Structure 1
Amino acid sequence: MTIPVVCALIASDDGKVLAARRSSSMDLPGKWEFPGGKVEPGETPRKALIREIEEELGILVRISATMSANVHHYKEKTIKLIPFVCSIISGEVCLKEHQSWSWFDRDELEDLDWAEADIPVLKEYLLMRG
C-alpha cells in the first residue's frame, strides 16, 4: 500500500527555503526534510498540507505552486510524496516534532543530509528556481 504524504517547500521573501531536521523520536532521525505529513482519509492533499504545517510548525501557509509527486520505496513502507511551494501567512515557527529547523539558500540546501524521498523534490525545486 502506498501512503500519500504531503510536504511544504516554504520559501521566504529573500528566496531561502525552510528545512526541518527529524528528531530521534521520528523515522529517519537526523535527516533533513521538507516538513509535512500523511494525508488523512477523505482529506485533499492541499488541506492536509495546511493542517500538517500548522500542527508541526505552528504556522499558517499559503500554497503558491504544486510540484511533481514522486513515489519512494523505503524498506518498511512506500510513500507518494506530494510537494507544494508555500509562503508563511502568519505565525512564528514553533517545532512540535522536529529537532531543529532553519532557512537555507540553494547552495546550502544541496549540502544537507536529506531523507531519500525528499531528494527528487529538492532537485525539481532547484531546476524550477534555476
Structure 2
Amino acid sequence: MTTIPVTCAIIYFENKILAVQRSKTMKLPLKWEFPGGKIEFGESEEDCVKREILEELNIHIEIKERLTPVTHTYPDFKIKLIPYTADYLSGELKLKEHADYVFLEKDELHTLDWAEADIPIVKEILTL
C-alpha cells in the first residue's frame, strides 16, 4: 500500500485553534481534522499547507513550527500526516469542502471525534 504524504495546519486564531469537520461525501465522513491536503509533485511541505488552506478555507496563514509526522494506515489507504502550527494572517474563512468548523481552546480539543491520524497530533499539541 502506497503512503500518501499529506500536510495539515494547526491554525491559531489568537488563542483558539481551528478544527474542521469532513463532509458526508469525503472519506472518513463527519470526522474532525486539522485542515490540509496532499502534497503535489515538486511542492514543498510548507507550500502545500499554505496552498491547501487557501483553497479549502480562503485564508492566508503564517507557518510557525513543524510537529511530529504521523503515519497511519486506514482500511483502504495509508497516509503520512505532516503537521505544522500556523497563525491566521488574513482572509474571510469560507468552507469549500468541509461540513463545519469550530474554534477551540487547546484543552477542549479532546471533545471532538477526530480522524484517527489526527489523534497523535492532538496529544502533541496538548504538551506544547
TM-score scaled by structure 2?
0.97
Identity of aligned residues (%): 50
1:112 aligned onto 2:115 = no
Query: 1 CA distance for matches of 2:17 and 2:52?
Result: 17
Matches within 5 A, 1:37-56: 37-56=37-56
Three-state SS of the structure 2 residue aligned to 1:120 is helix
Query: 2 CA distance for matches of 1:25 and 1:39?
Result: 21
AA at the equivalent of 1:11 = Y
- What is the match of residue 24 of structure 1? 24
TM-score scaled by structure 1?
0.95
Query: 2 CA distance for matches of 1:117 and 1:22?
Result: 13
Matches within 5 A, 1:85-124: 85-124=85-124
- What is the match of residue 10 of structure 1? 11
Query: 1 CA distance for matches of 2:127 and 2:59?
Result: 27
Number of aligned pairs?
127
Over the aligned positions, Cα root-mean-square deviation in angstroms equals 0.7
Unpaired runs of 5+ residues, structure 1, are: none
1:57 aligned onto 2:57 = yes
The Cα shift of 1:108 comes to 1.9
Three-state SS of the structure 2 residue aligned to 1:95 is coil
Three-state SS of the structure 2 residue aligned to 1:11 is strand
Residues 34-63 of structure 1, C-alpha deviations (whole Å, 9 max, x = no match): 000000111111000000000000001000
Unpaired runs of 5+ residues, structure 2, are: none
4+ residue segments displaced more than 6 Å: none
AA at the equivalent of 1:71 = T
The Cα shift of 1:25 comes to 1.5
Contact conserved, 2:36 with 2:49, CA < 8 A, in 1?
A: yes
The Cα shift of 1:107 comes to 2.8
Three-state SS of the structure 2 residue aligned to 1:40 is coil
